[in-house]
Structure 1
Amino acid sequence: MRNISDIIEKYIKEILNSSDNIRLKRSELAEKFQCVPSQINYVLKTRFSIERGYVVESKRGGGGYIQVVKVQPVTDADLIDEMINLIDYRLTENMADSIIIHLLEEEVINEREARLMLSAIDHSVLDVDIPVRDVMRANILKAMLQSLTYTR
């Protein structure tokens, strides 16, 4: 059985399929899914990040809402360049995973390429202390992404 975060993510993505820009009320979503509003925040933060191709804006207050915008790059190369620009000199495994998943969802890479990339940046492969591991991960992922821009 899927967890509540998966269900909320699926619901929001279904709405986004009809429009690249939606406004939602956090309280209404929480009521619909019978969860606390912080669960909605968690889903938005982890599943609708810029690394995954979304911009989320929040307006708080009485008439507050959440606006979710799906970013549509012009070409695959533009998307790859955007992802490269997101990578700082260090990169967490979660952020790297999000970038790879986004490229897979946008069909810039295929499943096999995604699995290879995920394997190369996994913490068990980069068996060094965290600060160095995050720097290595950033360099490896940047190199892989840059190689994609030359082969597409």
Structure 2
Amino acid sequence: MANLSDHIEDYIKAYLTQMNEVELRRSEIASQFDCVPSQINYVINTRFTVQKGYSVESKRGGSGYIRISKIQVQNDSEHLDLIQGQLLPEMTENDTKKYLTDLYQQDLMTKREAQLLSLVLNNHLISKQDVGNKWRSDMLKEISDHLKYLW
């Protein structure tokens, strides 16, 4: 069963299937879905991210808008560069799972590969090695770099 966030996401994506860029007003969408503007912000901040292939520009205020564009990526290497830009200096286990999910959803690795890496990078195994979140971030960067050159 779809929730309100899913409906808002689908509404915005419907516009994006017709054109590569859409300009929306937060208040108009909130009024249409009978919700608060912060609900629209939540959907945009979580569902229209760079790692999911979108660029978001926003201006607040009376004549404010939200401009969402599809990012045109030429190949997997460029896409990996965009996703890799989201790596934090230290990655928690939850950050890592989200990152691996993004790689899987963008068809840059299989579900099985994502699950195996998630297992290897989980807190239980890492705490045994006493290496922590910095090491996890370095590992993800190395993995992303190597994904560019797999054949």
TM-score by length of 1: 0.80
The 1-side partners of 2:38 and 2:60 are apart by 14
1:11 corresponds to = 11
Identity of aligned residues (%): 39
1:29 corresponds to = 29
Shift of 1:39: 0.8
Shift of 1:8: 1.7
Q: Which moved more, 1:3-12 or 1:92-101?
A: 92-101
2:137 corresponds to = 138
2:61 corresponds to = 61
TM-score by length of 2: 0.80
Residue type at the aligned position of 1:25 = R
The 2-side partners of 1:120 and 1:18 are apart by 41
Q: CA contact under 8 A between 2:50 and 2:82: conserved in structure 1?
A: no
Shift of 1:95: 4.4
Q: CA contact under 8 A between 1:52 and 1:98: conserved in structure 2?
A: no
1:46 corresponds to = 46
Cα deviation 1:4-37 (Å, max 9, x = unaligned): 2222223222322222211111111111221111
Q: CA contact under 8 A between 2:53 and 2:71: conserved in structure 1?
A: yes
> Any idea what SS the aligned residue of 1:151 has?
coil
* Structural RMSD (CA): 2.4
Q: CA contact under 8 A between 1:91 and 1:134: conserved in structure 2?
A: yes
Within a 5 Å distance, the mapping from 1:91-130 to structure 2 comes to 91-127=91-127
Q: CA contact under 8 A between 1:59 and 1:66: conserved in structure 2?
A: yes
Q: Which has the larger radius of gyration?
A: 2
Q: CA contact under 8 A between 1:54 and 1:70: conserved in structure 2?
A: yes
Shift of 1:94: 4.9
The 2-side partners of 1:122 and 1:17 are apart by 37
Equivalences, count: 149
Residue type at the aligned position of 1:32 = Q
Shift of 1:106: 2.7
